[in-house]
Amino acid sequence: MAVRTGLAALVALACVQVQLPVEAWRGPARAAYAARLTTMREGAGSRRDAVGRGLGAAGTGAAALGLPGLAQALPFFGGGSTAPSRAPGTPPPPAKRPALLRVVVGTPPVLQPYSNQAEKRVVKEGSEMDALIFGMHTSSSSSQDAELAVKHMTQGALSGDKELGFALATFDRRQQAALDAYAGDKSSSDRDAEAALVAAATAAGADEIAVRNQLPLLRFARERGATLLAVGVPPAVLQGVDKGGLEGMSAEDRQYYVPDADAFLSTIRVKGFQRYAQNVILGADAPQGKNAFAVAILRHEAMASGAARYLRKGITEGVRRQAILVADTRDVIYYFGAQMRLQRLAPQPETRAEGAAPAEFKVRSILLNPTASDSLSELPELRLALGITPKSVKEAYPLADLICFSGSPAVSLLTRMSPIET
């Protein structure tokens, strides 16, 4: 009877989704579930509510049918709620916690969701990293990405025994003095210090929107006594590269932004990079110029070398450090931007014991509130890897190591879900 009841629940879900008549059902549980479906239809404030209730029934049915993976996955999308229906037009309640998923490369790539306990464990793995890279929407007028980054870090992602350095790709050398003054201001209120930072940074050429949307993150860094690093490239330098290529830089700029020119150029020969360049750097929706490719790889090299410079100085001074690189989403997706270059530029890590081999330099990338278009998907779902096939899986890299959302993500955005890890 349990199996038949479970089957009826799954059929109920199908009927809700495709609007089949209840009379199309077959089986002993038809009458009971017909009554439930009628209640669902009459009480639902919207079709979304009806589908949500159908998902709850389907979850029960999946468990009865011996499909624990499906039974676990359905509640992740918000199904199974027995709460009263919302009135039409009423927004859903805010999520109690951000959704965190790991991208697992395979054929096909999948998303790994976590239970509350497992999520805490995954976040705390960040404290073991030498560097964390956050990809956020730097041109947005909203600060929700910065707030989400702070929430992620306060949940245990930072090392408690290392100095922190925030490498900020939306600030360049012209604004370093403004960042230093803000970080060193111990007497002003947050409001006054932030107003002074916005005024000084914009006067030095920073984009005001980009400064304001990162204020929650900058405030967090200031409270922690962290170092703030401007690792972007001034527009004048980028314009020179766009017009004359990398040769258009002065010798001083070249030495500062590209300290290892041979290795800088060798990265374009890494397997998988060509696919990345065609899709991300030279894609149809990417910024275009005469030398767009040179501009992009210079920006990536500059932000990575700035973070690496901070870490390397710590090793020289005998101080343990962790770098937090904050960049635009597009500079973080699919590994070959800032992440690959920071991995290459990484200073020699400390040894664990005398005579022991150096520990591996650990970097983790985290995308904040990514959209389907951010992932270069032509569908309303996230694209999880670039050009992955059975023959090219070794050359494929994930959208990011982790993706994190401020609220419950849309069902259509997430596909190929693994069972929840507990």
71 and 155 belong to one structural domain: no
40: CB partners within 8 A, 6+ apart: 16, 50, 53, 54
Per-residue pLDDT tens digits for 344-384: 888 665 544 455 455 678 999 999 999 999 999 999 999 99
Domain range enclosing 23: 2-76
Distance from C-alpha of 227 to C-alpha of 50, rounded to nearest angstrom: 51
- Indicate whether 222 and 255 sit together in one domain: yes
Shared-domain flag, residues 337 and 375: yes
Residue partners of 408: CB distance under 8 A and separation at least 6: 78, 92, 95, 99
Structure confidence at residue 358 (pLDDT): 52
Tokens encoding 228: 């703030």
Q: 259 and 131: one domain?
A: yes
pLDDT of res. 94: 54
Model confidence at 13: pLDDT above 60: no
Question: Does 419 reside within a domain?
Answer: no
| Least confident stretch, 231-240, 289-298, 350-359 | 350-359
pLDDT of residue 18: 37
- Check whether residue 108 and residue 29 sit in a common domain: no
Question: Is there a domain that residue 88 lies in?
Answer: no
Structure tokens given for 121: 């464990």
Do 202 and 326 fall into the same domain?
A: yes
Sequence-separated (6 or more) residues with CB below 8 Å from residue 357 = 351
This prediction's pTM: 0.76
**pLDDT tens per residue across span 72-101:** 544 444 444 444 455 665 665 554 444 899
The CATH number of whichever domain residue 276 belongs to comes to 3.40.50
The region that residue 151 occupies, defined by phi over 0 for left and psi between -120 and 50 for alpha, beta otherwise, is alpha
pLDDT confidence of residue 170: 96
How far apart (Å, rounded) are the C-alpha atoms in residues 31 and 169? Answer: 61
Enumerate the H helices of 107-165 as residue ranges. 116-124, 144-152
pLDDT score of 175 more than 80: yes
CA–CA gap between residue 59 and residue 71 (Å, rounded): 4
Nearest to 401 by CA among 363, 370, 345: 363
Judge whether 342 lies within some domain.
yes
Give me the DSSP letters along 75-114. HHTTTT--SPPPPTTPPPPPPSS--EEEEE-SSS-EEEEB
Task: Name the domain boundary from 76, 108, 135.
Answer: 76
Whether the per-residue pLDDT at 240 is higher than 90: the answer is yes
Q: Which residues contact 391 (CB under 8 A, 6 or more apart)?
A: none
Q: How buried is residue 394: exposed, middle or buried, by Cβ count under 10 Å (0-12/13-18/19+)?
A: exposed
For residue 248, count CB atoms less than 10 angstroms from its CB and return exposed for 0-12, middle for 13-18, buried for 19 or more: middle
pLDDT of residue 107: 81
In terms of domains, do 135 and 219 share one?
A: yes
Flag whether 23 is in a domain: yes
Two tokens at 332? 């973080």
How many domains are contained in the chain?
A: 2
Q: Are residues 288 and 176 in the same domain?
A: yes
420 in any annotated domain: no
pLDDT number for residue 16: 39
Does residue 64 sit in the same domain as residue 169? no
Looking at residue 343, its amino acid is Q
Looking at the predicted structure, is the pLDDT value of residue 142 above 50?
yes
- Over range 139-164, report the average pLDDT: 94
Residue 91: the pLDDT is 62
pLDDT of residue 86: 58
In this predicted structure, the answer to whether residue 45 has a pLDDT above a threshold of 90 is no
Q: Are residues 366 and 286 in the same domain?
A: yes
Answer yes or no: do 58 and 12 share one domain.
Answer: yes
Query: Is 101 in contact with 73 (CB distance < 8 Å)?
Result: no
Torsions phi, psi of 230, nearest 5?
-85, 110
User: If pLDDT is split at 50, 70 and 90, which confidence band does 325 have?
Assistant: very high
- Is 142 in the same domain as 23? no
Rounded to the nearest integer, the mean pLDDT of the chain is 81
Q: Is residue 95 part of a domain?
A: no
**pLDDT at position 408 over 50:** yes
What is the spatial distance between Cα 234 and Cα 170, in angstroms, rounded to a whole number?
10
- Other CB atoms within a 10 A radius of the CB of residue 384 amount to 25
Domain annotation covers residue 422: no
> How far apart, in whole angstroms, are the C-alpha atoms of residue 216 and residue 204?
21
Q: Residue 8: pLDDT above 50?
A: no
Residue 340 inside a domain? The answer is yes
